[in-house]
Structure 1
């Protein structure tokens, strides 16, 4: 038995031998191994015939062998022999050399923004629940580093109407300065992706504070802020490609030429402004009154003043127009919400300028049942943003697939929480190199017809998944993490999240007392809408008490899966990768 450490990939060494090799892999080795090794020519054949990489060359195979041997710290003289049997298995389990999906941007990024699903956060500044957690720039940074491209900020006056707070209005959340949030966005916007970041503003400001917000935003972001020329109107949104490394603003345009005197943002003003997102909508009238009994204004905790000269930010200071555009001029994507009446009216389309409309989770469900074709027609040119139900006080989330299936581009989830809906979002945006923009399927964009999600669709393809084995739990967690007295009993829950006809979950058998379980089980998933399907995998450790332990999870976009044997890294409940913990899975499309 050989044992070695794969540098940069496995936190600790682990051992494999012929007894560990899954049955399917053993069959492959019979075909492609010679004298106990897989050489460059045989590896090339394997890449073409099993892995579906038709363009693979002998040079590619030699390169993979070289990389695997170097990372395995094996002697260079072994290079001519190729990979030994366990080295070949380590190669298959290497997620950098044998990833399950394409890790580079490969979608056409030259179409209008409305043609893409965009990785979107809700109340991006909250550190926890929706009622009493702190507001901070830190969750914004975390979201951007994960690839989120739409950041939401709620803007409120402080108690003196002299400064701008970011907080969840009329709750007990402690505020953070707008300046800190904008600085965080500037510093971290393009670490994970070069494609544009959208800041959606829920604006509860007086006209003078809107002017202050414009100055803070323009002075902080400088040249990376994109805003349209005064004469520019959008019959079609610009493309992600044309907006690379730019930040854009989306909010409701302020009413024209409001009185210059300060107008206090009162409860009555707020409730009448149906184009802004209410903290609770109609969901919590009694709780809203309870909050009001504690505070008539937003929380009174006042952060330090912005670090600007007083003369610079005086709301009465005259600033040259070319230097500081007005608040209205900063808005590239004009936003709104349904104003009472029929929800259907918000989805009216015509020759007017494109726009963004926000709907709550219950509003979407109602429209999806009653007017699905109108939803899809609207999202061909316009942007639809969905936000969570007001009763999700603990920052839980909803199933995003209903919104995606009807063409909604900005499906906003609470990134500070975790759970299965957030796992779906994280998996969905692993597509297209993880850049935060995923091209919508053509059936949702076609001009000649409107896709009807109510009609039963035929099976287009069947995904065959063979779960071979898993590794890494012992090295990652230690001997007593799952059970103090024996090795763990792992099993998988595996299935599809997608349109209703495709959604299903199945389970493997329980592998008792195995740190390196070999399931060797096959599953078939017929798919009617493979473009919208996500492969869900969860690992659990069976416990006789009935409370099984969590062993990792992942979601993978089916449309991006590479065929063949692939290394599938697992993640924790928050979506962070569990270093060294992975599965060997074979994917085939029938």
Structure 2
């Protein structure tokens, strides 16, 4: 009987790594500053650093780190730098980052209305808007990232003797107000010394508003800022500099509320009952499984009514929480009439107006300049529409280009919109306050009109040389079971519609250290607000391309020259090693 032979094919994994040599531009740069020699001395390096715009004190610090080998860069502990040493220096994100000014450098002495403020929406939610837990953990995480505006939705607990923080009319589980306040105090100034603003969405009867006032005073003590006794309402907002280390409240001032009789079932303490805003303009709900479509509409309607005076308040009782009203620094409110009336500034007081993303988009068509003028003295808050039940976000530039200071975002998720928000607030040392560009504050010869096309002010040129670090931060089989990844880079601008675009390099096959050497050019009409978007993906012929990292950088803070650009994961956490070598030039 003959022998049967079976054939099998064995795929060998090709995981050999190849270190890419320095790009030609790096070689040319080294040759110029080394005088054509094989080494660059300390004086040569000093001249290079000065030529790239480094400040004198920063130059000496870098020289000490590089030449004496104190940085985490190998083979630099000697006075002369080879081409490879210089390349390593350029590719070090710690020594050669893409953003200038690691510290606060904007004028922080203007009123709060002159700044974009890092703002959260429903800051207590751990996940979706309908059924996730409420907790102080996402509040802590937001503050540690640099968020300066925390939103809390206040509702009575089931026995109407304490305050819960919960997304009303949903299945979200509550967390106590006192726990949230204590966590805000503990973590408020971990990332930034500048003020934390707590926006309160108030669904409380007056006796609980009095309890809120006592809690707030007890927790924050002398770091709580509120208007002086003789004014009660501010004619002009204080500056971030004046409010360093302070916490302030923003909400609709309480008025006399409808006289309400609580039902017996409410008094019995059903854990899932919520009272409507002011206990008079909404019904008391019993425990039931909600219809999610109804809940979406209800939550959206509730958000939209946050700052609207209630026309149904007919039968009034005296208000018993005067201290609570006095503690509100940024007062929210909106006339009962048209939006045009709402956008009129009162020279005797400043206030906050809230609009949903759809309301802003609608208002921007006919009232763009009025919105910009309003935001020159007052605060405009934009919040996500109620149908974003997965805690997704919207395009923040619609708010920013109209001067909206509080573009409120769901910080508990991730996605490209949230990447833009994280990137925008890398500006000004990451302190959570970014001074608005001058054109949004001008009144002469006319107020800025976002609807008008603008001329190109400058052109940003970006060159993507190479990438590295994936082999250290990812498993070898993460992108492909049998071969190294095929990386490509997407580069573009997020900004006003005329500036927004994305381009990409070709995919480099089978290489953990891809070299692209690709240059892009981006004409910018509003460079003051533009963000540079960078994403790396791994090309997959049969499936969706794999994610390899992302970052968003403020164009206004980019340092010209060849820089190391660190990449972040989907949730905005920085990788340990993944980075790109890029060049930035302005024309």
TM over 0.5: yes
Contact in 2 for aligned 1:158/1:165 (Cα 8 Å): yes
> SS state of the match for residue 336, structure 1?
coil
Per-residue Cα deviation, 1:331-375 (whole angstroms, up to 9, x for no partner):
000012464x52222111132300001001100000111210010
Aligned to 1:344: 340
Distance 1:58 1:170 in 2: 57
Q: How does 1:504-515 map to 2 (within 5 A)?
A: 504-515=501-512
User: Alpha-carbon deviations, 1:113-152, whole Å to 9, x = none?
Assistant: 0000000000000000000100000000000000000000
Q: 1:182 to 1:268 in 2, by over 3 A?
A: closer
Work out the CA distance in 1 between the residues paired with 2:238 and 2:123: 24
Match of 1:371 among 367, 370, 394: 367
Cα displacement (A) at 1:259:
6.8
Alignment of 1:412-423 (within 5 A): 412-423=408-419
Contact 1:461-1:589 within 8 A present in 2 as well = yes
Alignment of 1:73-472 (within 5 A): 74=75, 76=77, 78-79=78-79, 81=80, 83-101=81-99, 102-232=101-231, 233-256=233-256, 266-267=275-276, 272=281, 286-287=294-295, 326-337=323-334, 339=336, 341-448=337-444, 449-472=446-469
CA contact (8 A) 2:260 2:279 kept: no
Q: Cα deviations across residues 427-470 of structure 1 (Å, max 9, x unaligned)?
A: 00000000000000000011322001111111110000011111
Describe the shift of the 1:203–1:70 C-alpha distance in structure 2 as closer, same or farther (beyond 3 A).
Answer: closer
**CA shift for structure 1 position 267:** 4.8
Measure the CA separation in 2 of the matches of 1:217 and 1:269: 19
1:483 counterpart residue number: 480
Task: Supply the distance in 1 between the matched residues of 2:297 and 2:386 (Cα, whole angstroms).
Answer: 15
> Taking structure 1 as reference, are residues 191 and 287 closer, same or farther at Cα in structure 2, changes over 3 Å only?
closer
Alpha carbons 2:64, 2:70 under 8 Å: kept: no
CA apart distance, 1:270: 6.7
Equivalence for 1:44: 46
Gaps of 5+ in 2: 1-15, 267-273, 283-290, 300-319
Between the aligned partners of 1:385 and 1:192, the Cα distance in structure 2 is: 22
1:501 aligns with 2:498: yes
SS in 1 for 2:537: strand
How many residues align? The count is 531
Which of 568, 572, 575 aligns to 2:569? It is: 572
CA–CA distance in structure 1, aligned partners of residues 107 and 441 of structure 2: 14
- The 1:586/1:75 distance shift into structure 2, 3 A limit, reads closer
Partner residue in 2 for 1:517? 514
Pair 1:474-2:477 in alignment = no
Separation in 1 of the partners of 2:72 and 2:275?
A: 63
> In structure 2, the residue corresponding to 1:362 is in which secondary structure?
helix
Q: Distance in 2 between matches of 1:454 and 1:61?
A: 45
Moved more, 23-32 or 563-572: 23-32
Q: Within 1, Cα distance between the matches of 2:155 and 2:356?
A: 21
Using the size of structure 1 for normalisation, the TM-score is 0.85
Partners of 2:562 and 2:382 in 1: CA distance: 37
Could you tell me how far apart the structure 1 residues matched to 2:505 and 2:109 are? 43
Are 1:121 and 1:148, in contact at CA under 8 Å, matched by a contact in 2?
yes
Q: Which deviates the most, 217-226 or 141-150?
A: 217-226
324-333 or 228-237: which moved more? 324-333
Query: In 2, are the aligned partners of 1:207 and 1:262 still within 8 Å (CA)?
Result: no
1:271, CA displacement in angstroms? Answer: 8.8
Q: Secondary structure at the match of 1:531?
A: coil
Contact 2:258/2:278 (<8 A) preserved: no
Q: What is the root-mean-square deviation of aligned Cα atoms in Å? A: 2.6
Q: CA deviation at 1:549?
A: 0.2
Give the aligned partner of residue 21 of structure 2: 20
Q: Aligned with 1:168: secondary structure?
A: coil
* 8 A Cα contact 1:463 1:525, kept in partner: yes
CA contact (8 A) 1:284 1:390 kept: no
TM-score w.r.t. length of structure 2: 0.86
Q: Distance in 1 between the 2:18 and 2:83 partners?
A: 10
Which residue number in structure 2 is paired with residue 298 of structure 1?
none
SS of 2:376's equivalent? helix
Give a deviation string over 1:309-337, Cα, whole Å, max 9, x none: xxxxxxxxx9xxxxx98111110000124
Aligned equivalents of 2:258, 2:249: Cα separation in 1: 21
- Residue 371 of structure 1 aligns to a residue whose secondary structure is helix
For 1:182 and 1:161, locate their aligned partners in 2 and report how far apart those are by CA, in whole Å: 19
Q: 2 CA distance for matches of 1:388 and 1:98? A: 37
Q: Kindly tell me: are residues 260 and 542 of structure 1, through their superposed partners in 2, closer, same or farther at Cα, counting changes over 3 Å?
A: closer
1:31-52 CA-to-partner distances (Å, cap 9, x unmatched) read: 2235432211221222233x23
Distance 2:125 2:58 in 1: 50
Aligned to 1:492: 489
Residue of structure 1 equivalent to 2:285: none
Give the Cα separation in 1 of the matches to 2:348 and 2:481: 66
Q: Structure 1 pair 105/499, CA: closer, same or farther in 2 (3 Å)? A: same
Helix, strand or coil at the partner of 2:340: helix
